[in-house]
Amino acid sequence: MMQNLQVEEIPRLNKRILVVDDYPPTRQLIIDALNQAGYYAISEAENGQEALDKCSENHFELVISDVMMPGMGGMELLNRLREVSSDTSIIIITAHPAVELAVSAMKRGAVDFLKKPFNIDDFLLKVHIHLDENARYKKEIKAQSGINEIQIKDKIRELSVHGYIYDSFESIEGDNEYIFNKLVDLSLNVVDGEECALLLFDEEEGLFRPKVIKSHDRKTYESKTIPALKQIFQEVVTKRKALMIHSSEHQEIAPSLICAPLMLRNNIFGILCIRKKINRESFTSKDLSYIINLTKRASLNIENQMLYESIYSNVLDTFRSLVASVQVRDHYTEQHCLRVRDLSAKIAEEMQCGDKVIESLKIAAILHDVGKIAIPDHILLKPGRLTAEEFAVIRTHSEAGEKILRPILLFEQERRIILHHHERWDGKGYPAGLKGEEIPFLSRILMVADSFDAMTNTRPYRPAMNLDYASEELRKNRDLQFDGRVVDAFLKQI
């Protein structure tokens, strides 16, 4: 009968969660953590009675409640809620844990018991698993009768953990360093581990170099534990598979140890080693399964990122070559683009933009004049002032640049920045006549950097302005040609 269970995506959109705590900062902390996942419809209550009233009016898949609250506390709410909504999962949280309290809460139907302050990742893991279990259990109970409920719940828990692992790496963003740390943290959370390390394998020298270590005594782990476990690490490399070892005799293993390989294109580049559970129980075959799943997902994520970065780099190099081809015709263009890149980045940093945003802006700045490849030489290189007709041709370069980049989906955001970097705050720019906040934010930054660099460098038709004069021009055109906030941010940088 268990064979009928199938792994499937359990939609978490519209899952309703009620957060109950009389202390607003704690309540908000929990709500903010849940909002990180982005899957849930969250309500809040400041005591048990208010929570009970809300549960009478609406169904919640999960209630997260503090124990100590004025009026009706968490334990009484737990009792009363069973009468109102028997299929709602309840997680109890308290700053004053006691074994008796935890046991009592679980006996009364709580699905979990957390101690304040709690680890956010661990908290989100538990929320995910209990919601997933609830949904899967309801579906399975409807589909079958006369089943072993303990087996069903056990299998559902396993599927839920694997689902959490998949989702965690599906949405992960960051460099390899971040992925390595995320892998170690997830491993500790998923199997209740106490000590975990990720080591990079140097095949040429046969060395295992520590990259991430989570241990109460890092120094001892590096100096004693890693050398003692090297034979096991080597066995993982030789057998090319994860190992689980139990031993009460070896301190480096007791009570058990899991070591799993990290692989790229069938080559081992690292080892994940996790030792002993917090409750001192040995790891199980399910724990081994979770760690294997984690290492495979992390390896795949790293491989995909490396492939993406390689493709991205190659495509960017191609377009840089196009910019260089413009520079062969117009020596001003290439150095101008490099200066605009640096100026744009300084503005973005002053305006506290994130690293990914700044990187996108840098790429747009490097490529913002690539459309000039479509401008005829007699216009692009004209030493005097342009006629109205010639200027109309020059104005097409932002649209031309966007069209050149259009086939490359990787540059979707950069295309939009480039297309609109000659719009004006007052709506008198081109090509679309956008104004104010209608203009993409990064285009507004690029516009200021581009204009300042153009003013302060010699062109065939005019000499360079000095810095003071160019700065004054920017001030005069605050909220006319330029976004005033961007101008202010830029002036702080020069």
Q: Is the pLDDT of residue 248 over 60?
A: yes
Confidence band of 247 (pLDDT split at 50, 70, 90): confident
Q: Is the pLDDT of residue 17 over 70?
A: yes
Residues of the chain above pLDDT 90, percent: 26
Tell me which H or E stretch contains 228: helix 226-239
Contact in structure between 74 and 104 (CB atoms under 8 Å): no
Contact in structure between 261 and 242 (CB atoms under 8 Å): yes
Q: What is residue 260's three-state secondary structure?
A: strand
Backbone conformation region of residue 411, classed left if phi is above 0, alpha if psi is from -120 to 50, else beta: alpha
Contact in structure between 242 and 221 (CB atoms under 8 Å): no
Tell me the residue type at 178. Answer: Y
How close are the terminal C-alpha atoms of the chain, in Å? 72
- 413-425 residue pLDDT tens: 899 999 999 999 9
Closest CA to 274 of 250, 252, 248, 298: 252
Q: Is the pLDDT of residue 403 over 80?
A: yes
Contact in structure between 246 and 253 (CB atoms under 8 Å): yes
Q: Is the pLDDT of residue 442 over 70?
A: yes
pLDDT of residue 252: 78
Confidence band of 12 (pLDDT split at 50, 70, 90): very low
Contact in structure between 405 and 418 (CB atoms under 8 Å): yes
Closest CA to 417 of 368, 475, 450, 372: 368
Q: Which residues share a beta bridge with 195?
A: 275
Q: Which of 85-94, 121-130, 432-441 has the lowest mean pLDDT?
A: 121-130
* Backbone phi and psi for residue 171, each to the nearest 5 degrees, phi listed first: -105, 5
Q: Which residues share a beta bridge with 41?
A: 16
**Which of the residue ranges 159-173, 244-258, 443-457 has the most confident prediction, judged by mean pLDDT?**
443-457
Burial degree of 275 (CB within 10 A; 0-12, 13-18, 19+)? buried
Q: What is the mean pLDDT of residues 459-472?
A: 82
pTM for the whole structure: 0.46
Closest CA to 417 of 446, 397, 390: 446
- 304-344 residue pLDDT tens: 666 556 666 666 677 767 666 666 666 655 578 889 999 99
Pairwise CA distance, residues 387 & 369, whole Å: 20
